[in-house]
């Protein structure tokens, strides 16, 4: 099985100076995600139906653990 794993921002706090010349990320929270790779199923329709349901249990557990913050 091929799986795509990624992180995407759920929440990002940014602080900028008065002139907006510089900014700093002061707080962020990223969410992990995974789905089956499109190369595995027989068709695009099959992929759309099964991309989340057919992940290995270990992949699901790791994603859930990451999103709980360990």
Domain count, the chain: 1
pLDDT at 63: 81
Q: Would you say the pTM of this structure is higher than 0.85?
A: no
Beta carbons within 8 Å of 3's beta carbon, 6+ residues apart: 34, 35, 36, 37, 55, 56, 59
Helix (H) or strand (E) holding 49: helix 44-50
Are the C-beta atoms of 58 and 38 separated by less than 8 Å? no
pLDDT at 24: 94
The larger pLDDT score, comparing residue 3 to residue 7, is at: 7
Q: Encode pLDDT of 11-64 as tens digits.
A: 999 999 999 899 999 998 888 887 766 655 567 777 677 766 777 788 888 888
Domain that includes residue 8, residue range: 3-68
Q: Which residues pair with 6 in a beta bridge?
A: 33
């Amino acid at each position: 099985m091929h799986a795509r794993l990624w992180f995407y921002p759920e929440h990002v706090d940014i602080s900028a100076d008065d002139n907006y010349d510089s900014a700093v990320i002061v707080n962020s929270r990223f969410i992990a995600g995974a789905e089956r790779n499109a190369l595995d199923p027989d068709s695009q329709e099959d992929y759309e139906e099964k991309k989340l349901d057919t992940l290995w249990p270990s992949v699901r557990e790791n994603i859930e653990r990451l999103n709980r913050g360990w």
